[in-house]
Amino acid sequence: MNDHSPPSLERRAFSALVALLLAPVLAQGLWRPLVHVFGPSGRSGTITGVALAISGTILLVQRLRPGLLASLALGAFVAVGATVGWSLALPGLLALLIVVAAIAPLVHWLLPQLPSALDGLARRHKALATLYAVLAVSAVVSTARVSIFIGDSTRVDQQVLPGMAFLETHSCLTAYVHAAALSRKHVDNLYAEHWWDGSHGAENAYRPFTLDYYAYPPPFLLVTAPLAPLEGDFAAQRALWFGLNGLLFAVGLWVVARWVEGPSTHRVLLLAPVFFGSLPVLATLQVGNFQIAAVVISVLAMVAIQRDRPIVGGPLLAFAILSKLSPGVLGIVLLAQRRWRGAAWAAGSGVVLFALSILTIGPSPTRYFLTYALPRIRSGEAFAFLDDTPFSILTNMSAFGLPFKLQLLGLSVGDPWALARRIGNVYSAILVVLAILAVRRGGDRRSQAMVWMSLLVLAALQSPFAPGYTSIGLLWATMLLSVEIRSLRGGVLLTLVWLLIAAAPPFQSTSLLAAYSILQAALIFGVPTWLILRSATSPLDRPGAGSNPPPA
């Protein structure tokens, strides 16, 4: 039920934070594609700055004279004035007007939607409120900076970690759009290495970004359809992808935060904007990896199925599975829970999506994925770079990567590739067992969501190469776990775990870095496993652990 009481300081501040976070993401997601259509227009930094100014204006109007029309009018005035003053031309004007048209209704709608549990928090917890304000400002600044780099790849000073050359030149999106372009040319085997050679050479169309390798199932190429009209303009494709993924993540955070219920669940909502502007999330959005979208779509699918809406959840889950494979672990959960309608809708939708991919790109990519790419992925051959450099080894969180890290510590493991494959096989078997254990107890909504997120993380770690962005689902789960914190000690411990998982240490020694990387991997494996086992063994009558009713 909506709360129609006058908005408190906390609710106004939260709405402001959401608006200031999303405005730059939306503006940059629109501006570059519009430049592609209408021609040059202004600068990336100006677009981000004006988007923030528009949000500030809307928020001020809502404070002084609440009303949607006034917000729209004054927001549009700022957009037009900035367009004239900074010569932003038609692309800039259109992008900024759309920001006005989105942010003004969002703020107007959001205020009464926020729970009354937020009211008075700042007064009752002044120290925590001050810390939250610092984190919120940092999130806004960081998101705005990354948006500038998205709009202009020469602004490396604004990227998520300035000075880190890898992030300046790496974009997972290069692989996605290159594979889509190859599929439209109907090449024989788009996974063949010769299509991905020379990524550093003059033929690289994605400069200054190097060409990444594509290892996704063919139906994933349906995801890139919105980028096809922008083919040949990677800057525009990159910006649109950033905007779409950022907005999708925001929607996922909101839906889950409002879906969970029980005492102190307002913490999940409060932490969502801070999480959005955190280093792991922004780094993943910056490089354009699909992991965030895969996790969000999978969780939203399960939420819909739990709400007895399999017509929505089934297709979403099928889309996630066919795009990334690892969300298939949630199919085991549906079967173990005997949610036959959800599983049937997912299976049927999967058949339709698979047929659509065959019709649009032909049968060849599927044949070569099954006979060429998939065996090379499972064996690690597709990731031959895994032991090339310490950086490749240290950033790999998968079980497959453990032998290579042990070698960096000076330990003898024989043939690390052979040992890695054996570890990978054992790990896959353990994952299936955990997926079945995960549904032994239903638990409340929050517990179920944490289990889904944990399974998604563990499933993603099946890949021979699993960089740090695979921990996004785990970091999201820790947000939900924050509801259970009842003491300063518990809060410090949870924060420490979060930082150990997400942070990069300032060590120079390869041995120290290898040891830290093993610790990170242990946490990324251990915490989800603990969450699953805890859910499987906790009694149903523990506080707040009421089970959902069985499906009809």
Asked if the structure places residue 161 within a domain, the reply is: no
How many structural domains comprise the chain? 1
Asked if residue 466 belongs to a domain, the reply is: no
Nearest to 442 by CA among 343, 311, 302, 318: 302
To 10 degrees, what angle do helices 234-259 and 445-460 make? Answer: 150
Residue in the structure block whose two tokens are 């051959």: 381
Cα–Cα dist 469/413, whole Å: 27
d(CA 527, CA 38): 49
Q: How far apart are CA 438 and CA 534, in angstroms?
A: 9
Give the whole-angstrom CA distance, residue 469 versus residue 280: 7
User: So what's the pLDDT on residue 330?
Assistant: 94
Nearest to 82 by CA among 27, 135, 158: 27
Q: Does 74 fall in a domain?
A: yes
Per DSSP, helices labelled H in 461-538 are: 472-481, 488-502, 510-537
- What token pair was written down for 435? 């997926």
- Is residue 104 included in any domain, yes or no? yes
The pLDDT value given to residue 1: 40
Say if residues 14 and 119 touch (Cβ distance below 8 Å).
no
Using alpha carbons only, what angle is made at residue 412 by residues 411 and 418, rounded to the nearest 5 degrees?
125
pLDDT at 442: 63
Per-residue pLDDT of the chain (552 residues; tens, 9 = 90+): 444 557 889 999 999 999 999 999 999 999 999 999 999 988 999 999 999 999 999 999 988 877 899 999 999 999 999 999 999 999 999 999 999 999 999 999 999 999 999 999 999 999 999 999 999 999 999 999 999 999 999 999 999 999 888 899 999 999 999 999 999 999 989 999 888 875 444 467 898 999 998 999 999 999 999 999 999 999 999 999 999 999 999 999 999 999 998 888 999 999 999 999 999 999 999 999 999 999 999 999 999 999 999 999 999 999 999 999 999 999 988 988 889 999 999 999 999 999 999 999 999 999 999 999 999 988 888 888 777 788 888 888 999 989 999 988 888 888 888 999 999 889 988 888 888 887 766 678 999 999 999 999 999 999 998 888 899 999 999 999 999 999 989 999 999 999 999 887 777 788 888 899 999 999 999 999 999 988 877 654 444 444 443 333
- Does 180 fall in a domain? no
Q: How far apart are CA 514 and CA 91, in angstroms?
A: 47
Q: What is the chain's alpha carbon radius of gyration, rounded to the nearest angstrom?
A: 23
Percentages (nearest 5) of helix, strand, coil residues in the chain: 75, 0, 25
Q: What residue type is 292 in one-letter code? A: I
Q: Is the dihedral angle over the CA atoms 288, 396, 451, 496 positive or is it negative?
A: negative
Q: What pLDDT score was predicted for residue 64? A: 85
Q: Is there a domain that residue 36 lies in?
A: yes
Asked if the structure places residue 35 within a domain, the reply is yes
Is residue 146 in some structural domain? no
Contact 337, 345 (CB under 8 A): no
Cα distance between residue 298 and residue 304, in whole Å: 10
> In 3-state terms, what secondary structure has residue 227?
helix
Tell me what pLDDT residue 536 has: 72
C-alpha of 255 from chain center: 14
Cα–chain center distance at 138: 19
Which range of residues forms the domain containing residue 84?
Answer: 9-115
Amino acid at 324: K
Sign of CA dihedral 187, 191, 197, 200: positive
Task: In the chain, count H helices and then E strands.
Answer: 24, 0
What is the identity of the amino acid at 194? H
